[in-house]
Amino acid sequence: MQNTDCTFICEQFTEYQENSLSSEIRAQVDTHLASCSACREIFQKLTGVVETLHKLPSLQASTDFTSTLLSRIETLNQETVWQKIYSSSYSRVAGYAIAAGLIVAIGINILIDPISPIKPGVQSNYAGEKINPDPRTESLAEVSDSSANQPADSLTLQNSPINSQNQSMQLVSGKK
Amino acid sequence: MSEKPLKTDEQLIADFQNGNENAFVELVDRYKDRLVNFVYRFLHDMTDAEDMVQETFLKVYKNKHAYREIAKFSTWIYTIAGNLARSELRKRKRRKTYTMSALSFDDNEFTPVDPGKDTEGIVFNSYAGEEIMKAIYALAEPFKTIIILRDIQELSYEDISTILDIPMGTVKSRVNRARLKLQETLSYLKE
Ligand SMILES: [Zn+2]
């Protein structure tokens, strides 16, 4: 397609093959093809391409295509049913009732056991032995305080803050 | 025993719109192979093609009332399937851009050719089916679409004009340009 004439001729090929050109243009293409080898070559190749395209084997959907599709649709329908139930006014009321019930239940639970996350024993652990209300740990603290008067072997044991804290922890947990 | 006259696609979709699910199944039977054949030419992958055709039918199922009798059912379903296939191609192209393809030809991305591979076993006028499929896949999108619709699905110019929403004259000139481009691409691939 070196010049405009060739370009114009090539643009007519499809209609030329389909026999839908006016006799005037058809004659123009015939004359051109007779004298231009470049366009003739393109036309021949084009004819081959189109014929190959028409002869391409047609593919088929796999045998379980329809059953797979129908089960997908079934799933879809089930989802839609649930969406409808969920969005219907009746179920919204039911939903509110369940939500309200849950809130009431949580509220009652808090009233029955208002300080469950902050039990006194745990508090004393964080604050240290001196605030611990347990009399047994108080007495232990006293022993620790008076450890200066104890013999050396017991001093190391009783004076260790880790040790006494461990003891108070054991006591508190034992009290639970 | 006289056979019941076959219902038209348009009668079937009308039945389906009125709640007859069997009419839908009948439409699936009529179109599944045609559409798989159609979408496969875009995607070059059978699993993806079947998936996309399933999506097409699901869309038809969900949006049955979107169909109006002013159009042929075939052009409607081809439009849906074609849009899905082309949007999948755009997604692939974006992914491909990220992975940087070194081979490019005009505005097309090229799939390297595996010479001597002719799984479809068709050799006509020195063009093998597999070669031609690769060449189609390598075409720019508007050319690819028009070749598939006209030369593989063998739809009429009028139907193609409806599906692509372009004038008949444009369809004809695009078919011609696409064929020339395809022939050029094939020559390039064969070098
Ligand atoms: Zn010429």
Q: Which domains does chain B have, with CATH numbers?
A: 1-100 (1.10.1740.10), 110-191 (1.10.10.10)
Residue B33 has phi, psi (to 5 degrees) of: -65, -45
Low-confidence residues in chain A, pLDDT < 50 = 1-2, 114-176
The 10s digit of each residue's pLDDT in B38-69 is 999 999 999 999 999 999 999 999 999 999 88
Rounded CA-CA distance A9/A22 in Å is: 13
The 10s digit of each residue's pLDDT in A129-176 is 333 444 443 333 333 333 334 433 333 333 333 333 433 333 333 333
Question: Is A45 an interface residue toward B (CB < 8 Å)?
Answer: yes
Residue among B25, B61, B129 minimizing CB distance to A52: B129
Chain A residues within 8 A of B151 when measuring between CB atoms: 50, 53-54
ipTM exceeding 0.95, yes/no = no
Smallest CA-to-CA distance from A140 within A152, A123, A128, A151 is with A128
Q: What percent of chain B has pLDDT over 90?
A: 65
Q: How far is the CA of B78 from the centre of ligand 1 (A)?
A: 37
Rounded CA-CA distance A23/A27 in Å is: 6
Cβ–Cβ pairs < 8 A, chains A and B: 104
Q: Taking all residues of chain B, what is their mean pLDDT, rounded to a whole number? A: 84
Residue B127's DSSP bridge partners are B124
Q: How far is B23 from chain A (nearest CA, A)?
A: 13
Residue ranges per structural domain of chain A: 4-55, 65-112
User: Looking at chain B from residue 5 to 24, which residues have their Cβ under 8 Å from any Cβ of chain A?
Assistant: none
Question: Is A50 an interface residue toward B (CB < 8 Å)?
Answer: yes
Cα B150 from chain centroid (whole Å): 10
Please give the radius of gyration of chain B, using alpha carbons only, rounded to the nearest integer: 18
pLDDT at A4: 57
| Distant-in-sequence contacts of B58-67, Cβ < 8 A, 24+ apart | B58/A69, B58/A72, B58/A73, B58/A76, B59/B84, B60/B24, B60/B27, B61/A73, B61/A76, B61/B24, B62/A76, B64/B13, B64/B16, B64/B17, B64/B24, B65/B17, B67/B13, B67/B17
Question: Is B171 an interface residue toward A (CB < 8 Å)?
Answer: no
Rounded CA-CA distance A15/A26 in Å is: 9
- Strand B104-105 and strand B108-109: the pairing is antiparallel
Model pTM score: 0.65
Residue among B50, B122, B172 minimizing CB distance to A55: B122
Chain A residues within 8 A of B173 when measuring between CB atoms: 11
pLDDT at A94: 59
Q: Which two tokens stand for residue B104?
A: 């490019």
